[in-house]
Structure 1
Amino acid sequence: MSDDKKTKTADKKIQPLSIALKNVSYIVSSKKKKTEKVILREINGRFSAGKVTAILGSSGAGKTTLLNIVAGKTEATGSVLINGQRFQAEKMKKISGFVSQEDILLETSTVDELLRMSAVLRLPSSLSAPEVEETIDGVVGTLMLDKCRNTVVGEINSVGLSGGERKRASIGMEMITNPPILILDEPTSGLDTFTAYVVVKKLKEIAQQGRTVISTIHQPSSDTFHLFDEIVLMIDGSVVYWGPTSQVISYFAGLGFVCPTYTNPADYFFMELLNGETEGVGEDAIREKREKQREIISQWRTRAHSGAVEEEFTAVKYKELKRTVSFLRQYLFLQARSIKNVLRNKRLSMMKLFQAVFIGTLGGMIFAGGGKDGDGLSVGRVARGCIFFMSTNQVYSPAGTTCTVFAVEKRIFEKEFHAGYYKVFPYYLSKVISELPVQILTSATLSIILHVAAPLRKDLVGFVGSTFFLCMLSMNSFMIGLVVSACFSDPLYSTATLPLVIFPLILTGGLFGKGGSVFSWLRYVSPYKYAVDSIMTLEIVGRKINGTDITEIALEADYTFDNLLVNFFVLAGFIAALFLLGFAVLFATSTRKRV
């Protein structure tokens, strides 16, 4: 790629934004234990434009909490100022990009498609197609993503992007909007020393374009450490140093902590200052170390309070940085992406199809030839058993698969939703629509195999009618799985909850639904009941086998043609109700306040 393309992102005018913190504290209260835990204590400092600042500290020091406060994800006491103006958390998304520690990316997308999604969904719609392409090319050039631009993300530890490429792709998605503030949580986590150095070097180049780059970091190498313009060191929620990296060694040397020559400063600070635990020493040594930590905290707090935090009173411009595009544009893009995801995820698609073929073949072997030597009623009862078999499969398999698959996709949705890519409804609608062909194909495959092998009706009307209602049952099952999985962030809870929902509907909606149980009313809210009633009617009522009318088998369970239209509307109503319920649950769980 030419040097001109590499500098396109840098050529765009960037509004310098500096962030000042004044007496910022964060306290977590426990109502049950009636206790309070101080996470951050009176933080004062400044993140300057044009510089990359690293926040270092041991686990539990408050690094991520400080980062979330700056990003507007967590509320705290004290003041956060942007260019001297009061911090507006709800507008932070418009002026900043946030890159989480874990690279949550759609595995079937290429790097180009990820960047294009960010451009299509977050850049102003007034931009022309050439301008959008220029923006994408600029980010690709800046982050050196040329070689992997058309490579799919892939699963971790599989063929696809490397760890460094995944991280740079995540950064690129935020860079598309040319934000003046870039915030990163542990961008080098899981990367080797060289790859971590490359990532931080790119961050430094990005900062030199006029951006404010803020990052938490954990044990960087010596070369990586010296790339940072400024360093923030934290102990137990307090800052012990905030200033130029070039001065940190001399500052602590003045306090009696001299970093040995040829020693990585980051390693020295972690071992001698930031870490409160000391292996293999007694309580006296630990107590002495704690006392030294309190002393250096006090030293810095006195210094921080004595120096005024410089403020800038340049108006912050929000309007042109990020915009949410129209519903139609969101939906069309997400629908195309969702369909592409289904087509590219060949392993999952083939597994669903194989499942239908395997279950159909197994059922065909079990029910094939059943009752042939007996009378027509005996064969009819075999056919009835086959109907219950395929209906039960289609009420559980789609729901179970959805709970497993959507748990992974939901993490991607939540990351993209909170980053402002799209709203809940267009994503949800595209997800449901793209699943329709899958449910039709698997239901039809199962139905074809069983109609050929088992003693079911071979005529077109019987086959098409039964398959149609089987598809409606499958869509109901898919929607139930979507509702259940939308309720939980952890797939373990959704898969554990699903049987508690599905099995009562199967038991009360099938052969055992007409008893006097206190739960028998559940049959009227069971899609399984209405689908089985319809398929039984189409397969059994009015049919003669070996000269015997087997209608009496159906009449025992009140299966009549008069109910077909009613059953259709009831099943369609269930799909609509579950669709609305799933949307409501997903909206509630994704928009609730996050701590």
Structure 2
Amino acid sequence: MVDVEAQNQEDIDGEITPAAAIFKKANLPVTLKFEDIVYKIKTEQGRGSLKPHKKSQEKLILKGISGTVLPGEMLAMLGPSGSGKTTLLTALGGRLGGGHLSGTITYNTKPFSNAMKRNTGFVTQDDILYPHLTVTETLVYTALLRLPRNLTKHEKTRHTEAVINQLGLSRCKNSIIGGPLLRGVSGGERKRVSIGQEMLINPSLLFLDEPTSGLDSTTAQKIVSTLWELANGGRTIVMTIHQPSSRLFYMFHKVLLLSEGNPLYYGKGSSALEFFESVGFAPSLAMNPADFLLDLANGNIDRRFGKRRSLKFVSDPGVATADSHEDQAAIKQALVSAYKAHLSESVKSELANDNELQVSTDDKRLKRWSNTWWDQFSVLFRRGIKERKHESFSTLKIAQVLVVAILSGLLWWQSDITHLQDQVGLFFFCSGFWGFYPLFQAIFTFPQERMMLAKERSSGMYRLSSYFMALTLGDLPMELVLPTIFFTIAYWMAGLKPTPGSFFAGLFVLLYSVLCSQGLGLAIGAAVMDQKSATVLGSVIMLTFLLCSGYYVQHVPRFVSWIKYVSISQYTFKLLLGTQYKPGETYPCDADKACLVEDFPSVKPVGLGGHAVSVIALGIMIVGYRLIAYLALMRIGVTRRK
């Protein structure tokens, strides 16, 4: 057994080494072992005219995969698309949910735990980053959330600087990340930022899904070279990679080749070609070993009979290519059989070796969260405002609200109570416009944030409650500024009651309804998580509220009249009318006659009373819709615990 020094234990408990030495060594060397990993999922056959009922089938994704990765080693998993690389990587990283996973995965002889989660980094294939934050801001916010609470903000910032220097990001540290429609850092720099987010915790075990995908060969070389240096610091690194160059291939300490969930090779990368030659598969020309292995995994190998009794498959330009499905299946089966005959026993003996590092970690002492609820909330609040202000206050949205406000003011220019129908129409328009606008703004919030939330929650960065409260409260100032500007312009241009009480009462009602519509949008977006479907559902719901609010149809049939009791538009319309007109107030309905406002055809179905009930009803909806959104979000970021 190997004993780890006491200093490593101090690192686990939260004492991080100085920033200058953060990359010298891993806090906790980890031996990763996985044995006979099998993963099954249930699939449903499509419903057709001859098959009216869906039939559930079980599909094998991983078929008994084993291996060991020691501290200081870098394992690369190769294979064509659909071979199970990412599924295996996700399972080893403790993030695989759904389906049925069997087999044994241990980290220093122990199952996945909070202690191991704190020492594990996971870099996804897609770089999930906020586009408007700079490189430094992205890493600083991550450090504030992930590094332990016993470090000061200054110390966490120093760790960020160390990561930036280590990954060669100093040149672009003040540049924004960017996105599809926003110019920012390059693809290689984005990938290094993603790696840097995981390196902040100085992980002992690092998983990377296609870290060189979409990068040129030079940039890919820099990325893998950085990972190789990290492995030399005693870290255990596991990655998937699709088609590495020969230079990259020989940097891997171990290679695992997969085909349709089956292992075809496991061992040193430098010994891969020698193994396949020994079992009858050899390239006749000098070529990239990775290309040859992928050809094997796809069954795309030229075929000829050798003098030996066994079949020998060699690459020869003068021989017909085995491109039929039967030939490819036969080649793959031959490779699977060769693995079982020549490698499976050596893999089992390697797994049986007693080479784990024994570390006396007390997982119960390790708190689940690195920081307090308030610390998480404050960091997420600041980050959310900094990122979303660009979208909330975009030129297009500001122009949209200003144009509608000015146009409304011109259409209802200096109307008075003699034009009661016009004034009532203005209030209904306000209730409709500020029902739809915040609804659609909020509907897109969680579908857009889904990948980021899943990524960060899987890393254990923060509680869902702190994230939800930070997002909800952080959006308030941004969501309430534009309706305030709209109401101020339209109110005074339309010539409504020129008293501070009426103006501020109307403004309060409008902002109150905006919060309610926003809550409905958050609930729909969180529950559906598909922008198109959520938009359609939101439109149907809000149009139903408008139609049943008593303005368009004054004699609503009883079997649908109950909808007005859950209609945001109806309560908003009623309260806006109440800010301008009081029971008993009259208007000139004829040349020499005054009529009661409450009897006006457009006002009577709604009435001028019951304001307290309307305020309470909207308040219940403000809280209720957000509670529904929170419960719907609990489905996201739940990882599989071993």
Q: Same fold (TM over 0.5)?
A: yes
Residue 312 of structure 1, aligned match among 333, 346, 355: 355
- Counting only pairs closer than 5 Å after superposition, residues 419-498 of structure 1 correspond to structure 2 as 419-498=459-538
Deviation, 1:258, is 2.3
* Cα distance change of structure 1 residues 231 and 555 upon mapping to structure 2, 3 Å threshold: closer
Partner of 1:566: 613
Deviation, 1:164, is 0.8
Q: Deviations over 1:408-466 (max 9, x none)?
A: 12322222112211111111111111222223212122212222333533332222211
Q: SS in structure 2 opposite 1:421?
A: coil
Residue 275 of structure 1, aligned match among 298, 308, 311: 298
- Counting only pairs closer than 5 Å after superposition, residues 347-386 of structure 1 correspond to structure 2 as 348-368=393-413, 377=418, 379-386=419-426
Counterpart of 1:314 in structure 2: which amino acid? L
**Aligned residues of 1:123 and 1:322 also touching (Cα < 8 A):** no
Partner of 2:277: 253
* Cα distance change of structure 1 residues 99 and 322 upon mapping to structure 2, 3 Å threshold: farther
Partner of 2:129: 105
- Counting only pairs closer than 5 Å after superposition, residues 131-146 of structure 1 correspond to structure 2 as 131-146=155-170
Partner of 1:409: 449
Residue 224 of structure 1, aligned match among 248, 252, 258: 248
Partner of 1:556: 604
Deviation, 1:543, is 6.5
Partner of 2:336: 297
Partner of 2:36: 23
- Counting only pairs closer than 5 Å after superposition, residues 491-510 of structure 1 correspond to structure 2 as 491-510=531-550
Residue 81 of structure 1, aligned match among 85, 88, 106: 106
Q: Deviations over 1:504-543 (max 9, x none)?
A: 2222224237522412111112222111101112223437
Distance 1:356 1:258 in 2: 69
Partner of 2:196: 172
Q: Deviations over 1:256-311 (max 9, x none)?
A: 3323554222122223x0114799x8987442232122112111122333221234
Partner of 1:337: 383
Distance 1:525 1:217 in 2: 53
**Aligned residues of 2:135 and 2:172 also touching (Cα < 8 A):** yes
Distance 1:438 1:269 in 2: 54
Deviation, 1:593, is 6.5
Name the structure with the higher helix share.
1
Q: SS in structure 2 opposite 1:40?
A: strand
Distance 1:157 1:350 in 2: 15
Partner of 1:36: 58
Partner of 1:213: 237
Further displaced range: 406-415 or 51-60: 406-415
**Aligned residues of 1:97 and 1:182 also touching (Cα < 8 A):** yes
* Cα distance change of structure 1 residues 513 and 589 upon mapping to structure 2, 3 Å threshold: farther
Distance 2:538 2:464 in 1: 23
Q: Return the TM-score normalized by structure 1.
A: 0.90
* Cα distance change of structure 1 residues 425 and 350 upon mapping to structure 2, 3 Å threshold: farther
* Cα distance change of structure 1 residues 592 and 137 upon mapping to structure 2, 3 Å threshold: closer
Counterpart of 1:492 in structure 2: which amino acid? K
Deviation, 1:237, is 0.8
1:54 aligns with 2:76: yes
Partner of 2:374: 328
Distance 1:355 1:264 in 2: 57
Deviation, 1:203, is 1.0
Q: SS in structure 2 opposite 1:77?
A: strand
Counterpart of 1:24 in structure 2: which amino acid? I
Residue 536 of structure 1, aligned match among 574, 577, 587: 577
Deviation, 1:118, is 2.4
Further displaced range: 28-37 or 227-236: 28-37
Q: Deviations over 1:541-587 (max 9, x none)?
A: 43757996662427623533x53333223322221222222212222
Distance 2:374 2:434 in 1: 33
Deviation, 1:590, is 4.4
Q: SS in structure 1 opposite 2:255?
A: strand
Distance 2:367 2:143 in 1: 11
Q: How many residues are matched?
A: 583
Distance 2:412 2:181 in 1: 44
* Cα distance change of structure 1 residues 138 and 209 upon mapping to structure 2, 3 Å threshold: same
- Counting only pairs closer than 5 Å after superposition, residues 109-128 of structure 1 correspond to structure 2 as 109-128=133-152
Distance 1:252 1:111 in 2: 44
Task: Provide the alpha-carbon RMSD of the alignment.
Answer: 2.9
* Cα distance change of structure 1 residues 498 and 225 upon mapping to structure 2, 3 Å threshold: same
Q: SS in structure 2 opposite 1:518?
A: helix
Gaps of 5+ in 2: 1-16, 45-53, 303-319
Distance 2:502 2:452 in 1: 42
* Cα distance change of structure 1 residues 92 and 148 upon mapping to structure 2, 3 Å threshold: same
Distance 1:421 1:349 in 2: 29
**Aligned residues of 2:273 and 2:289 also touching (Cα < 8 A):** yes
Partner of 2:307: none
Partner of 1:518: 559
Deviation, 1:172, is 0.7
Q: Return the TM-score normalized by structure 2.
A: 0.84
Q: Identity percentage over the alignment?
A: 28
Gaps of 5+ in 1: none
Distance 1:82 1:332 in 2: 34
Q: Deviations over 1:483-508 (max 9, x none)?
A: 11111332222222211322222222
Distance 1:182 1:513 in 2: 65
